[in-house]
Amino acid sequence: DAKTTQPNSMESNEEEPVHLPCNHSTISGTDYIHWYRQLPSQGPEYVIHGLTSNVNNRMASLAIAEDRKSSTLILHRATLRDAAVYYCILSGGGSNYKLTFGKGTLLTVNP
């Protein structure tokens, strides 16, 4: 499984943007970049995914480097409910879909 590297923890203030980095220098051409998050005492939750182009959805934006060796999850205005562990994961789609979770980044949001 292709590996990703994320900071162990990050801190943000409420209503400020948060940029969560992820390095994935061994990404293959068919790997999608997925972001999931896990709120305390809950199951993982899909946030966003992308292949080559930057992506936006109602939860976040995903900025992907041109060489695809790194990406950044952007939460435009952090809220207290965004406090969670964020996982950056590489995987194929469909029948090649398998999530291998690392330790992720623990995001703390200060009021």
Residues of the shown chain interacting with another protein in the complex, contacts defined by CB under 8 A: 32, 34, 38, 42-46, 49, 87, 91, 93-103
Nearest to 59 by CA among 44, 41, 77: 77
Provide, rounded to whole angstroms, the least separation between the CB of residue 14 and another protein: 25
First to last CA, the chain: 38
Provide, rounded to whole angstroms, the least separation between the CB of residue 97 and another protein: 6
Residue number with CB closer to another protein (94 or 111): 94
Residue number with CB closer to another protein (72 or 91): 91
Q: Are 47 and 99 in contact (CB under 8 A)?
A: no
Structure tokens at 56: 């936006």
* Cα dist from 56 to 7, 13, 59, 101, whole Å: 22, 22, 8, 23
Residue number with CB closer to another protein (29 or 94): 94
Provide, rounded to whole angstroms, the least separation between the CB of residue 91 and another protein: 7
